[in-house]
Homo-oligomer: A and B are copies of this chain.
Amino acid sequence: MINEQFKQMLGAKSVIRELSEYATKRGTEIGYDNVFDYSLGNPSVPCPDSYTEAVLDIHQNMNPMEIHGYSPSTTLPSARQAVADSLNERFQMDYAMEHIFMTSGAAGALAHALRAVTKPGDKVITFAPFFPEYIPYVTGCGDELVVVPANTEDFQINFEAFKDMLTEDVMAVLINTPNNPSGVVYSKETIQEMARILQEAQDRFGHDIFLISDEPYREILFDGETYTYPSKFYDNTLSCYSFSKSLSLPGERIGYVAVNPRATDADILVAIMAQISRGIGHNCPSSSVQLAVSRALDDTSDLSVYETNMNILYDELVKLGFNVVRPGGTFYIFPQALEEDAVAFCQKAKEYDLILVPSDSFGVKGYFRMAYCIDTEKVRRSVEALRRFIETEYKR
Residues in A lying within 8 Å of B, measured CB to CB: 1-7, 9-10, 42, 44, 46-47, 52, 55-56, 59-60, 63-65, 67-71, 103-105, 107-112, 115-119, 133, 136-137, 139-141, 171, 207-208, 248-254, 264-265, 268-269, 271-272, 275-276, 278-289
Contact = CB atoms under 8 A, between A and B. Distances in A.
Give the number of times this chain occurs in the complex, counting copies. 2
A181 B158 CA distance: 57
A101 to B, nearest CB: 12
A170 to B, nearest CB: 11
Contacts of A46: 63-65
Nearest to A60: B56
A160 to B, nearest CB: 26
Contacts of A119: 1, 3-5
Given A2-B116, A107-B282, 18 more contacts: A1-B117, A1-B119, A1-B264, A2-B264, A3-B117, A6-B116, A6-B272, A10-B272, A47-B64, A52-B59, A52-B64, A68-B250, A68-B251, A110-B281, A137-B278, A137-B281, A251-B288, A254-B286
Given A56-B56, A69-B42, A112-B281, A252 B64 contact: no
Q: Lowest 5 A-B CB distances belong to which pairs?
A: A140-B279, A111-B281, A251-B287, A136-B278, A46-B64
A2 B4 CA distance: 31
A253 B287 CA distance: 8
Contacts of A249: 68
Nearest to A9: B275
Nearest to A114: B281
A283 B7 CA distance: 17
Contacts of A289: 286, 288-289
A21 to B, nearest CB: 11
25 contacts: A3-B118, A7-B265, A7-B268, A9-B272, A44-B65, A52-B59, A55-B288, A67-B251, A68-B248, A68-B252, A69-B250, A70-B251, A103-B281, A104-B281, A107-B278, A111-B279, A133-B278, A136-B278, A137-B279, A140-B278, A252-B287, A280-B281, A281-B282, A286-B289, A288-B289
Contacts of A171: 1
Contacts of A133: 278
A241 to B, nearest CB: 14
A360 to B, nearest CB: 19
Nearest to A70: B250
A99 to B, nearest CB: 15
Contacts of A254: 286
Nearest to A280: B280
A282 B104 contact: yes
Nearest to A110: B281
A25 to B, nearest CB: 15
Contacts of A251: 67-71, 284, 286-288
B59 A47 contact: no
A270 to B, nearest CB: 11
B3 A116 contact: yes
B253 A283 contact: yes
B283 A107 contact: yes
A1 B281 contact: no
Contacts of A285: 253, 286
A119 B6 CA distance: 10
Contacts of A281: 103-104, 107-112, 137, 140, 280, 282
A287 B285 CA distance: 12
B286 A286 contact: yes
